[in-house]
Structure 1
Amino acid sequence: MQHLLFNKLKKAFIVLFLCIVVTAITGCWDRKEVNDLAVVTAIGIDKKDDKNIELSIQIFNPRSVGGSGQMDGSGGGSGGGSGGGSDQVLIQSEVGLTLADAMSKFQEKLARQIFWGHDETYIISQELAKEGIREQMDFLLEDPDLRENGNVYISSGKAKDILPLQPTLERNSSEMLRELSAFRIGMIVTISDLAQMLAGETGAAAIPLIAISQSSGNSTNSSPIPSLMGTAVLKADKMIGHLSDKTTRGVLWFRNEIDSVTVTVRPKLAEQGMISVRLKKNKTQLIPTIQEGKWTITLRSESKGEIVQNTTNLNMMNPEFVKELEKEVGIEIQKRMELSLKQVQKKLKADILGFAQAFHQKYPKEWNEVKDHWDQKFPEIEVVITPKVRIQRSGLSNSGAIRPKQEVKNK
């Protein structure tokens, strides 16, 4: 009996062992070592001529972190297309009739297998965007090797010129752009987001606009870096204009995408000086109404923040001063919104503010009657802006840390 039980346990152990071995083998038979891959971290798309486009890729250089792989001409680093870049990355460019055509040429000249799955940055030149990006978007969305959640940007110059830039504090230009976007000082748009906007109810889209600028510092160590310079506005997949940094902030208010922002005003009650208020908790709501055929959007904005600097003689421990400051900060916010509204609604006539979606959700019947000529209806909509600001903390410098008491205005 014991012998029979021992045989059964032995057979069960053998079966279990074989299952573990088979599972381990199937889990790694097609595994690719990092040193066998050319990892793409960013893509740049430019117009080459009337028939061709130029595709540039930023490839991570494993040698920059002590990798054993070699990315030279024989190994597939700087051969083919055009080479360049910093120690951190290698830049390759190829020309083709389509993106797929240009992409296929890279593998012909690289000894390593190209890995596109780590690409987190797509840069499209302004020149190409003005002619239309529908074909490029279709390919970027359909190719299974590319990431739909990668951030997309429009460059004021050549997209390929952004890729080799080497910021001082970041590993490459792609990483710096991602960090800038994370601070929400501008818009954050992924390939998936862009596709939804272009295929949406208005066909209008907004994309961060970037350019090459000089880093801060003295002339001996400053270097060119990528920087955000506003927002590119597209309609029906073609770029029709752009917004400045200041105007972009107003658009973010409308879209309820503003994060932390500092507003500086000159209080009327002060003889001189300024007060800066940092607003961290911001919420915006679009409220559409249709009355007697009149279409109106009410923008209800609520913000909470604290005073971070006070160069006036006002003692901000006085609740009356704080109340007046809240009104003046609200007026400044309203001015920023009205500035962006003038550019977007009256000049560009591109609904990137979310008006169409708001009316569609609340008034589906009325929306269906105007959706085919929304470009004409959008500029006619009346907009009422009602910002509300609450300052929760006056900060430590309520009237200046070293200001003489006789100069402080307490009431």
Structure 2
Amino acid sequence: MRKCINILKLIWLTVMLNMLTGCWDIKEIQDMNYITAIGIDQEDGEFVVYTQMMDFTSVAKNETGKAEKPPQVWTSKTRGKTFDMAVNAIYDSAQLRTSWSHISCILISDSVLKSKVLTKLDTIGRYQEIRMTPWVYGTNESIEQLFNVPAFFNLSPLNTLAHEPSEEHKQRSYIVPIRYFDFMALITEPASTVLLPNLSIDKGTWSLNQKENPKLVINGVFAISEVVSKGFFPNDKLAGLRWMETDTKRSPVTITNKNGEYAGLVVLSKPKIRKKLNIVNGMPQFRVNVKLHGNVVEALDDMNKTEMEMKAAARVREEIISTFKNGIASKTDLYSLEHVLFKKDTRLWKKIHQSSLQPMDAGSLESVHVEVHLDHAGMKLLPHHDGPAAPSTRKEAGS
């Protein structure tokens, strides 16, 4: 009798354990909508939210690594009085449960950037499914068109610049991409200017079977200070910005000969930057020191190593000063030099802001000193001679 009871207990325990290990609310991946990008715009006083969604099978790679057919991409456009109301309008016709945990790109239109940006992004920071790691961009183009720009070789849209800009930046460092958590941290930092990359469409560079094949491109920045955009700066106004970013991995600079003719190209990387603050007559002045290493990739003139270093250093210095002045002309501190004042002399910073004085003007950049060291010249040699590897180029910034 006891043996029968023990057997029955064992059977009952086995049944109960099987019931406990069951996944009652599991969702198959094909039964979910996965949002990969979200765009925020404003029209006629309402929020307009765009989303990008793709077929899950287009993300997985096949044996060749490339798909035979272009991936299918769905985009949505909804409206609402608030950002959250516009987002919730998506559920009306979503058909399936929608997952927001795979977003890797956030696009913000220039009209939204002109107002208090933080209030427009409140929902994103509160909703637990959305991570803090997506790449963030501004744009002055159609968000819907940006979401439909194809990748190369029929690859997933996740292989475009919008979702993975870091690899392109390693090869050509011009504008540093920024993630959402960095963007939110810097936008609330006093005396800082956040440089938000502008995502655009390049329709003239690439073609497929002699037909226009547009691709995404970063062609400038929106300078955001005090949580409001101070304006858009295209790439040609930002030539010196790369030399003031420690994240610069590789960026080219041209050099000219004595006659002003093109003489070669050097690639510079890993800038070491020092910013020194001086207070003159109660106002801040800054001295900037930049040290760069690089190599020669093209030499079309009979120029030795030291001469090339001098020419490259002079060009870098010229670009740094020019970019600073481009920002000041629009009352924008592109290098966030004012933040140095805030950290080192907060009392003076507050005093200047409480007065009618401008903390930054064209004379705030007192001097720029640049050193360039060329480590090698590729598979060819350049003539060398004794002397300093990087002669001083320190001059008055205004000269």
TMscore range, shorter length? 0.7 to 0.9
Post-superposition offset of 1:146: 1.8
- Residues 254 and 383 of structure 1, relative CA distance in 2, 3 Å threshold: farther
Name the aligned partner's letter for residue 158 of structure 1. S
- Residues 153 and 174 of structure 1, relative CA distance in 2, 3 Å threshold: farther
Q: Does 1:48 align with 2:43?
A: yes
In structure 2, the residue matched to 1:192 is 181
Post-superposition offset of 1:216: 1.7
In structure 1, the residue matched to 2:151 is 167
TM, length-normalised to structure 1:
0.78
In structure 2, the residue matched to 1:81 is none
Q: Given that residues 190 and 342 in structure 2 are in contact (C-alpha distance below 8 angstroms), is that contact kept between their aligned partners in structure 1?
A: no
Give me the whole-angstrom Cα distance separating, in 2, the residues matched to 1:218 and 1:157. 23
Q: Given that residues 45 and 160 in structure 1 are in contact (C-alpha distance below 8 angstroms), is that contact kept between their aligned partners in structure 2?
A: no
Name the aligned partner's letter for residue 56 of structure 1. Y
Q: Does 1:395 align with 2:389?
A: no
| Helix, strand or coil at the partner of 1:201 | coil
Give me the whole-angstrom Cα distance separating, in 2, the residues matched to 1:141 and 1:159. 21
In structure 2, the residue matched to 1:75 is none
Within-5 A mapping of 1:5-404: 25=22, 28-49=23-44, 51-64=45-58, 87-169=71-153, 170-172=155-157, 175-184=160-169, 185-202=174-191, 204-214=193-203, 215-217=205-207, 220-268=210-258, 274-314=263-303, 321-344=304-327, 346-372=328-354, 376-379=358-361, 381-398=364-381
Q: Given that residues 324 and 334 in structure 2 are in contact (C-alpha distance below 8 angstroms), is that contact kept between their aligned partners in structure 1?
A: no
Post-superposition offset of 1:358: 1.6
Q: Which has the higher helix share?
A: 1
Give me the whole-angstrom Cα distance separating, in 2, the residues matched to 1:20 and 1:356. 64
Q: RMSD value over aligned CA atoms?
A: 3.3
Post-superposition offset of 1:326: 0.8
Q: Given that residues 202 and 215 in structure 2 are in contact (C-alpha distance below 8 angstroms), is that contact kept between their aligned partners in structure 1?
A: yes
- Structure 2: gaps (5+ residues): 1-9, 62-69, 387-399
- Residues 66 and 130 of structure 1, relative CA distance in 2, 3 Å threshold: closer
| Helix, strand or coil at the partner of 1:395 | coil
> More deviation in 327-336 or 232-241?
232-241
- Structure 1: gaps (5+ residues): 1-12, 68-85, 315-320, 400-407
Give me the whole-angstrom Cα distance separating, in 2, the residues matched to 1:282 and 1:180. 20
Name the aligned partner's letter for residue 122 of structure 1. I
Give me the whole-angstrom Cα distance separating, in 2, the residues matched to 1:337 and 1:224. 32
The percentage of counterpart residues that share the same residue type is 17
Name the aligned partner's letter for residue 126 of structure 2. E
Name the aligned partner's letter for residue 296 of structure 2. I
| Helix, strand or coil at the partner of 1:178 | coil
